[in-house]
């Protein structure tokens, strides 16, 4: 245990201002690394978004106007890889880096140097992956799922893609180890696991998912690599291999992966809704257990991505039932958020708006997910725009909206200034209107028979595609507003300095430190009252 | 079997009063169609069942949320309550969804068991996916041909072709990217079994009016079946990303009455046997077959 004297000495050692290079490239401070993660993910969000703009521009009307089909396929593939591995996952790791130590009263992450390494792998991984677009034969064009045999038709640039994904996996695993070590070892004295705020809880569970499945992905793509370059036949039927086995292995990673992207979002929203309802989180323990159940179930539902590959009846039934079961803990969460708001004292600042938008639109994505679980109906939905609509509702209006909510919620804590509330609200309303214009008509397109991953379509699909594209351009432009709001907030343009407890109803240790949070916090473990914790639940 | 047949006949009466077009995609179409088989109708019914369940739950949840948003505003002087638990509520909203799910899984299971059964089929078609066309073999005959997208669609879909997709018409219907040179001809009121595979990468055979899609996977043979009741032309597309021309390998099924089909098949069989006599030629010899088959099926 650090004594007061030791802490003072320690602080003194860091009083000098490190040079720019030392601080941002070699630094191990959790807040700086959190900032790096968040800025990196914002950059990737814009790059992946630009790819989406190309996709929506080509789909604006029937006929091929802008790009050829080969490039279109590279765009859909890269858009997904960049958004999943470059935008959403690192953004949540960024929030974890910034907020976990503050929320559990720790001075830093448990493994600060590993933290630096796990971030700095990422820019290089993405540099390598994106550079394949400029190589002979182009980048990956077989979809982000990289199904063989199609993915093996890519040129030699495939080796770069696989290497890059390996690096991203390494980064994720190291980040996850760090989070588990931090949460399990560095909580302030008196903070039992079941008193811990909900965001660290969701991240703790997510970190176990990451460690469980990233090595599986690594195995799958390594087998692709040897099939392509070393003449093995893991997935080559002509050599005695099995292309469907790849799908099983991939989705054993891929399904928990989608929960990796949504569980921390649940955590963020579960912090925000109680704050702006001025009421404790309803059913805190149920929330924790529901998160754990979802995480467990995520390991036994993978083949619902594969209902049309020709599985035996028993397999289809099992995966249908298991998938439907997920609706139960997910429903518990939604009901609990609504109950938290019930009889609260609600205000609607930008974080709350994004959180409410999250609950409504994530639930819509959950409904279409339930529909997709019904095997006979999935025979129609599978691989159509209905699926595209479904996963964008859970990923964009789900994960991304939660990230936006979290960014607005904690921006004042990070910068010491209030963001521009008017522009924040504009950002919310423009995003919400356009994102629904973008994705809701895609349900209709899928039900009417439009397959996904096609660059051109019949006239029958033209009207809703045009509406969807207009929504896409609007949503894309609205995000530039977010970039401006973040920039102006960081520069203190609003001129409104904020205190420790930025929001009236905010609870939790992160609101007991000054704003902006000083470089070093909780160098001595904080003493706290249980009622200060975010969920405000002291009944156990 | 018999009651189902009677039902099917009744359904057919209803369906035939609707324009045959309705099985193919329409502008501003919002929902799945019931299709033209008992299979597709059951799939459609399940789809509507789960859709309405979602709508009802949605109305309740969003209704409660909307009420909370308007009623419990701080600006209206709402004061926050302190409670954060209710065991009764939590048990209720765990148990009720479980019951709803069981209620949904039951019909879904029944339908799935029924549609899984491809036995007692009267004929078998072998479907093989290639980049980027389909081959259809009528098992037990010499009839075997490939089917690829029509030339007009193909010319129109070239990058900046300057041609108008709306101009690609057949019988007054827009068929851009949804028409082929040689459609798959099938008899109505006959249980047809499909065995589906692929020769290069994974494809997926999908005609929405039949109610299912089934992946075509190299090295695997998948099974599916249909029994079409309404004569007509039903259009679909490859549904699994299969490379650059994934969007350009449509499927067209021409469903004709049994007698007409028998005449057609006999004629095709004669042509195929007379022309080549090598119907067992390796499938890989696509190019060689192509010329022959183009002639053989011209008569359609």
Give B55 to chain A, closest Cα distance, Å.
Answer: 9
pLDDT band at A5 (very low <50, low <70, confident <90, very high): very low
Q: Do A346 and B28 touch (CB under 8 A)?
A: no
What proportion of chain A, given as a percentage, has pLDDT over 90? 92
Nearest CB partner across the interface for B244, out of A73, A277, A367: A73
Tell whether B93 is covered by a domain.
yes
Tell me which residue in B73, B160, B174 faces A458 most closely, judged by beta carbons. B174
In angstroms, the Cα distances linking A532 to A343, A507, A518 are 21, 5, 20
The reported pLDDT for the residue numbered A530 is: 79
Tens of pLDDT, residue by residue, chain B (300 residues)? 445 555 554 444 444 444 444 678 999 999 999 999 999 999 999 999 999 999 999 999 999 999 999 999 999 999 999 888 889 999 999 999 999 999 999 999 999 999 999 999 999 999 999 999 999 999 999 999 999 999 999 999 999 999 999 999 998 899 999 999 999 999 999 999 999 999 999 999 999 999 999 999 999 999 999 999 999 999 999 999 999 999 999 999 999 999 999 999 999 999 988 765 444 444 444 444 554 444 444 444
Q: Do B138 and B275 share a structural domain? A: yes
On whether residue B20 sits in a domain, the answer given is: no
Q: Would you call B133 helix, strand, or coil by DSSP?
A: strand
pLDDT at A307 over 70: yes
Residue B170 and residue B195 in one domain: yes
The answer to whether residues B131 and B94 belong to one domain is no
In the residue annotation, A379 being an active-site residue is answered as: no
Q: Are residues B68 and B194 in the same domain?
A: no
Q: Are B132 and B98 found together in one domain?
A: no
Burial of A120 from C-beta contacts in 10 A (0-12 / 13-18 / 19+): middle
Beta strands in A34-112 (DSSP E): none
Q: Looking at the structure, do residues B159 and B255 belong to the same domain, yes or no?
A: yes
The Cα–Cα gap between A384 and A387 comes to: 6
Among chain B residues, the shortest Cα distance to A451 is held by B239
Whether B82 maps to a domain, the answer reads no
Whether residue A149 is preceded by a cis peptide bond, meaning omega within 30 degrees of 0, is yes
Q: Residue B59's pLDDT is what? A: 97
The verdict on whether A79 is a catalytic residue reads: yes
User: Per the structure, how many domains does chain B have?
Assistant: 2
Chain B contact set for A451 (CB, 8 A)? 206, 237-239, 246-247
In whole angstroms, give the CA distance from residue A486 to residue A480: 10
- Choice among A31, A56, A79, A228 that is catalytic: A79
Active site annotation includes A171:
yes
Question: What's the confidence (pLDDT) of residue B283?
Answer: 44
pTM, to two decimals: 0.91
CB-CB under 8 Å, A345 with B78? yes
Under an 8 A CB cutoff, do A356 and B178 touch? no
The pLDDT value recorded for residue A523 is 93
Inter-chain Cβ pairs, chain A and chain B, closer than 8 A: 299
Let me know if A339 is a catalytic residue.
no
Do B135 and B186 reside in the same domain of the chain? yes
Q: Are residues B109 and B160 in the same domain?
A: no
Q: Which of B196, B204, B253, B263 is nearest to B230 (CA)?
A: B253
B1 lies in a domain?
no
Residues B240 and B272 in one domain: yes
The residue with greater pLDDT, A1 or A477, is A477
Instruction: Examine the residue annotation and report whether A270 is marked as an active-site residue of this protein.
Output: yes
With an 8 Å Cβ cutoff, are B108 and A374 in contact? yes
Instruction: Tell me the pLDDT tens digit for each residue of A466-506.
Output: 999 999 999 999 999 999 999 999 999 888 999 999 999 99
Is residue B161 situated within a structural domain? yes
Give the range of the structural domain holding residue B51, as residue numbers without chain letter: 38-72+88-115
What pairing do the DSSP bridges indicate for beta strands B203-207 and B212-216?
Answer: antiparallel
Q: Is A166 a catalytic site residue? A: no
Give tens-digit pLDDT for A341-370.
999 999 999 999 999 999 999 999 999 999
Nearest chain B residue (CA) to A244: B217
Q: What is the CATH number of the domain that holds B239?
A: 2.60.40.420
Same domain, residue pair B46 and B128 = no
ipTM of the assembly?
0.91
Evaluate whether residue B2 is within a structural domain: no
What are residue A421's phi and psi, to 5 degrees?
-60, -40
* Residue A268: partners with Cβ closer than 8 Å, 6 or more residues away: A95, A199, A355, A402, A403, A405, A406, A409
Could you write out the DSSP letters of every residue in B265-295? HHHHHHHHHHHTS-TTS-TT-HHHHHHHHHH
pLDDT in tens, A195-204: 899 999 999 9
Nearest partner of A235 among A227, B242, A166, judged by Cα: A227
Instruction: Decide: residue B75, CB within 10 A, 0-12 exposed, 13-18 middle, 19+ buried.
Output: exposed
Sheet-wide strand order for B212-216 = B184-187, B250-256, B232-238, B203-207, B212-216
The continuous run of DSSP H or E covering B252 comes out as: strand B250-256
CA atoms within 13 A on the CB side of A237: 17
- Top residue of A65, A155, A301, A308 to mutate, by most chain B CBs within 10 Å, is A308
Helix (H, G, I), strand (E, B) or coil at A235: coil
Taking the C-alpha atoms of residue B299 and residue A85, their distance in angstroms, rounded to an integer, is: 54
| B166 in the same domain as B101 | no
Strand B133-138 relative to strand B222-226, pairing: unpaired
Is pLDDT at A190 greater than 60 in this prediction?
A: yes
Query: What average pLDDT does range A146-163 have in this prediction?
Result: 94
Concatenate the DSSP letters of all residues of A131-159 into one string.
Answer: HGGGSTT-S--STTTT-TTGGGGS-TTHH
Helix extents (H) in A449-533? 462-490
- Please check whether residue B242 lies inside any domain of the structure: yes
Interface with chain A: mutation pick from B21, B41, B68, highest number of A CBs within 10 Å = B68
**Both B148 and B45 in a single domain?**
no
- B228 assigned to some structural domain: yes
Q: CA of B154, closest CA in chain A: separation in Å?
A: 10
Cβ-nearest to B50 among A310, A370, A457:
A370
Decide if A393 contacts A364 (C-beta within 8 A).
yes
């Amino acid at each position: 245990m650090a004594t007061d004297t030791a802490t003072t000495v320690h602080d003194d050692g860091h009083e000098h201002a490190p040079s720019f290079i030392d601080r941002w490239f070699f630094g191990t401070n959790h807040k700086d690394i959190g900032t790096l993660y968040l800025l990196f993910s914002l950059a990737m969000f814009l790059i992946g978004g630009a790819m989406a703009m190309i996709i929506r521009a080509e789909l604006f009307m029937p006929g091929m106007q802008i790009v050829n089909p080969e490039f279109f396929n590279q765009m859909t593939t890269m858009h997904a890889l960049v958004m999943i591995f470059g935008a959403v996952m690192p953004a949540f790791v960024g929030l974890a880096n910034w907020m976990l130590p503050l929320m559990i009263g720790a001075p830093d992450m448990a493994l600060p140097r590993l933290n630096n390494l796990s971030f700095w792998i990422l820019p290089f991984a993405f540099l390598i992956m994106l550079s394949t677009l400029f190589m002979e034969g182009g980048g990956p064009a077989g979809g982000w799922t990289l199904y063989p045999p199609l993915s093996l038709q890519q040129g030699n640039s495939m080796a770069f893609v696989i290497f890059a994904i390996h690096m991203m996996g390494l980064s994720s695993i190291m980040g996850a180890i760090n989070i588990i070590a931090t949460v399990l070892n560095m909580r302030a004295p008196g903070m039992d696991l079941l008193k811990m705020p909900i965001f660290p809880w969701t991240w703790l569970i997510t970190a176990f998912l990451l460690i469980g499945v990233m090595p599986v992905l690594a195995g799958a793509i390594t087998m692709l690599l040897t099939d392509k370059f070393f003449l093995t036949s893991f997935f080559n039927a002509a050599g005695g291999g099995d292309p469907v086995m790849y799908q099983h292995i991939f989705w054993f990673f891929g399904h928990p992966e989608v929960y990796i992207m949504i569980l921390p979002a649940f955590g963020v929203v579960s912090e925000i809704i109680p704050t702006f309802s001025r009421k404790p989180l309803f059913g805190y323990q149920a929330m924790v257990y529901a998160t754990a159940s979802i995480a467990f179930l995520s390991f036994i539902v993978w083949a619902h991505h594969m209902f049309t590959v020709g599985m035996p009846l028993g397999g289809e039934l099992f995966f249908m039932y298991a998938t439907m079961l997920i609706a139960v803990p997910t429903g518990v969460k939604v009901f609990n958020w609504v109950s938290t708001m019930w009889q609260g004292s609600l205000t609607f600042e930008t974080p709350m708006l994004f959180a409410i938008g999250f609950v409504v639109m994530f639930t819509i994505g959950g409904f279409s997910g339930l529909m997709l679980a019904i095997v006979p109906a999935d025979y129609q939905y599978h691989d159509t725009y209905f699926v595209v609509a479904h996963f964008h509702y859970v990923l964009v209006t789900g994960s991304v909206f939660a990230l936006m909510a979290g960014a607005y919620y904690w921006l004042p804590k990070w910068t010491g200034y209030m963001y521009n509330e008017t522009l924040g609200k504009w950002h919310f309303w423009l995003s919400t209107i356009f994102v629904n214009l973008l994705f809701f008509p895609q349900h209709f397109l899928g039900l009417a028979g439009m397959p996904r991953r096609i660059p051109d379509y019949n006239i029958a699909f033209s009207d809703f595609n045009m509406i969807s594209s207009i929504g896409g351009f609007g949503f894309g432009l609205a995000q530039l507003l977010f970039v401006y709001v973040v920039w102006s907030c960081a520069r203190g343009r609003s001129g409104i300095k904020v205190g420790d407890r930025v929001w009236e109803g905010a609870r939790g240790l992160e609101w007991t430190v000054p704003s902006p949070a000083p470089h070093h916090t909780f160098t001595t473990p904080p003493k706290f009252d249980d009622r200060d914790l975010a969920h405000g639940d002291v009944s156990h | 079997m018999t009651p189902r047949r009677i039902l099917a006949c009744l359904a057919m009466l209803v369906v035939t009063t609707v324009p045959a077009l309705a099985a193919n995609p329409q502008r501003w179409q919002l929902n799945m169609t019931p299709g033209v088989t008992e299979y597709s109708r059951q799939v459609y019914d399940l789809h509507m069942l789960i859709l309405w369940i979602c709508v009802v739950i949605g109305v309740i949840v969003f209704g409660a949320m909307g009420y909370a948003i308007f009623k419990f505003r701080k600006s209206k002087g709402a004061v926050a309550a302190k409670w954060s638990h209710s065991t009764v509520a939590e048990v209720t909203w765990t148990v009720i969804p479980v019951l709803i799910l069981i209620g949904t899984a039951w019909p879904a299971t029944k339908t799935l068991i029924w549609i899984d059964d491809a036995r007692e089929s009267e004929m078998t078609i072998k479907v093989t996916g290639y980049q980027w066309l389909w081959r259809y073999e009528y098992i037990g005959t010499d009839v075997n041909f490939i089917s690829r997208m029509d030339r007009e669609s193909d010319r129109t879909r070239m990058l900046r072709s300057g041609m108008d997709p709306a101009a690609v018409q057949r019988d007054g219907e827009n068929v851009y990217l949804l028409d082929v040179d040689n459609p798959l001809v099938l008899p109505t009121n006959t249980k047809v079994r499909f065995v589906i595979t692929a020769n290069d990468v994974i494809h997926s055979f999908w005609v929405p009016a039949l109610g299912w899609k089934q992946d075509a996977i190299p090295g695997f043979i998948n099974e599916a079946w249909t029994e079409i009741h309404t004569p007509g032309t039903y259009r679909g597309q490859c549904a699994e990303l299969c490379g650059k021309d994934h969007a350009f390998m449509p499927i067209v099924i021409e469903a004709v009455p049994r007698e007409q089909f028998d005449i057609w098949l006999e004629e095709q069989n004669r042509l195929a046997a007379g022309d080549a006599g090598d119907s067992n030629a390796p499938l890989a010899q696509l190019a060689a077959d192509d010329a022959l088959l183009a002639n053989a099926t011209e008569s359609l």
